[in-house]
Amino acid sequence: MKVNIYYGGRGLLDDPTLYVLKKIEEVLNELRVTVERINIYEHKNEIATLPQTMKGADGIILATTVEWLGIGGYMQQFLDACWLYGDKEKIKTTYMQPIVMSTTYGEREGELTLASAWEILGGQPCPGLCGYVEDLVSFEMNKDYTNLIEKKAEGLYRTISQKIKSLPSSNQAVKQAVLRTPQMELTPQESEQLSKYVSDDSYVKKQKEDIEELASMFKDMLGKAEQEEEAYIETFRSHFVPQPDFKARYLFILEGRKKPLFAEVAQGELTMHYGQEENIDVYAKLRPEVLDGIVEGRMTFQRAFMTGEMTAKGNFKILRMLDTMFSFA
């Protein structure tokens, strides 16, 4: 039989929980139980991997000290890791004894918190031990207290060895009927691998850097897309020469662009935007490089059409008006 002890205190010399754990270890060793104690504060950068250490254990002890309020951060992080990365099938068959000693108020609430958490995780809770210690020396010298601690250790041994069952609890009912926390369906091996990644600071840092790089890349792509949406429009507007009593609707299809460039001239006003339109007078198809040459004054619409670099269909009289309406020279 093997029992793992997970200590969630800070390891202070006057911590009464350490004395209780020492007595429990002595009793379990006499009963030929393999005991392994894991001080969570010594593994604070790898708490996510600790649930994997329960693999070979028949039972565990969750022990912590209430110094001012609640079970403390290390134990809470460990329970969070059990929920996120623990092997739920293994937890179902694992007995847990909560031990909470207090130097202030709240030891009973702490014990109840650990027991409830383990039940919600699906595990088997055992009768726990909690107490208030005002003076550690007098506590250690009290033989009655020592006997109580030893009896609890013996009770844990009997519970595990005899596989004593407990009555159904409302925590289990709530877990099955109410809790619907979405979780990834992972095998125990995948959970272990994921927990190692989570606890690897360099890996997490690299992931954050990659996410920032991707975010920056998409931001640049979005900015580029927005620039493309405005491309040529301001240039056409700044070189527009109003023509009285002239109306026309043009659609420029630019190769490689998802949306065509629409231009409408009416009542001496120019309207332009990217997108499909109906009732077009002239359809013009050309490459963006050719249009660049036109707006930079190196070529005209008429010359691009005559040389075949721009194809067009529609009213060719209206097509010839492009060079009159837009003075790029």
Please check the confidence at residue 41 and state whether its pLDDT lies above 90. Answer: yes
For residue 187, CA distances in Å to 86, 90, 198 come to 10, 12, 16
Domain with 254 in it: 233-325
Q: Give Cβ neighbours of residue 73 (< 8 Å, ≥ 6 apart).
A: none
Q: Which pLDDT score, from 0 to 100, does residue 216 have? A: 72
Q: Based on the domain organization, do 41 and 73 belong to the same domain? A: yes
Decide: helix, strand or coil at residue 286.
strand
pLDDT of residue 264: 94
User: Could you say which of 177, 199, 221 is where a domain stops?
Assistant: 199
With bands split at pLDDT 50, 70 and 90, how would you rate the model's confidence at 225?
very low
Q: Does one domain contain both 218 and 316? A: no
Residues 6 or more apart whose CB falls under 8 angstroms from that of 38 comprise: 4, 5, 6, 7, 50, 53
- 86 and 222 assigned to the same domain: no
Query: CA-to-CA distance for 26 and 142, rounded, in angstroms?
Result: 17
Both 221 and 307 in one domain: the answer is no
**Which residues pair with residue 312 across a beta bridge?**
284
- How confident is the model at residue 148, as a pLDDT? 96
CATH code, 122 = 3.40.50.360
Q: What is the CATH number of the domain that holds 281?
A: 3.30.1050.10
C-alpha 21, offset from chain centre: 36
pLDDT over 70 at 166, yes or no: yes
Q: In terms of domains, do 185 and 208 share one?
A: no
Res. 267 pLDDT band, cuts 50 70 90: confident
**Could you tell me which residue, 194 or 127, shows the higher pLDDT?**
127
Q: Report whether 21 contacts 63 (CB < 8 A).
A: yes
pLDDT value of residue 176? 60
pLDDT of residue 226: 47
pLDDT in tens, 65-121: 998 889 989 999 999 999 998 998 999 999 999 999 999 999 999 999 999 999 999
243: nearest Cα among 274, 272, 273, 264: 264
- From residue 314, alpha-carbon distances to 101, 196, 248, 261, 280 in Å are 89, 66, 11, 16, 8
Are both 190 and 303 inside the same structural domain? no
**Claim to verify: residue 239 and residue 124 sit in the same structural domain:** no
pLDDT category at 213 given cuts 50, 70, 90 is confident
**Residue 318 and residue 288 share a domain:** yes
pLDDT of residue 301: 92
Residue 324 CA from chain centroid, whole number = 59
What pLDDT digit, counting tens, does each position of 273-305 carry?
998 899 999 999 999 999 999 999 999 999 999
Q: In this model, does residue 306 exceed pLDDT 80?
A: yes
Q: What is the pLDDT, as a whole number, of residue 13?
A: 87
Q: Which of 188, 211, 230 is the last residue of a domain?
A: 230
pLDDT computed for residue 58 by the predictor: 95
Question: In terms of domains, do 14 and 163 share one?
Answer: yes
Q: How many helices (H) and strands (E) does the chain have?
A: 14, 11
Please tell me whether residues 258 and 320 are part of one structural domain.
yes
322 three-state secondary structure: helix
Distance CA 44, CA 75 (A): 10
Contact yes or no for 269/240 (Cβ under 8 A):
no
If one compares 23 and 196, the residue with the highest pLDDT of the two is 23
What pLDDT shows up at residue 208?
76
Mark whether 222 and 242 lie in a shared domain: no
In the block, tokens 């911590």 appear at 15
On whether the CB atoms of residues 291 and 252 are closer than 8 A, the answer is yes
Q: Are 176 and 191 part of one and the same domain?
A: yes
CA 115 to chain CA mean position, Å: 28
Q: Which of 182, 199, 216 is the last residue of a domain?
A: 199
268-274 mean pLDDT = 91
How many residues appear in the chain?
Answer: 329
Q: Which of 35, 23, 112, 24 is nearest to 66 (CA)?
A: 112
How many folded domains does the chain comprise?
Answer: 3
Give the span between the Cα atoms of 193 and 204, in whole angstroms: 13
Between 13-27, 155-169, 181-195, 299-313, the lowest mean confidence (pLDDT) is in 181-195
The terminus-to-terminus CA distance of the chain in angstroms comes to 92
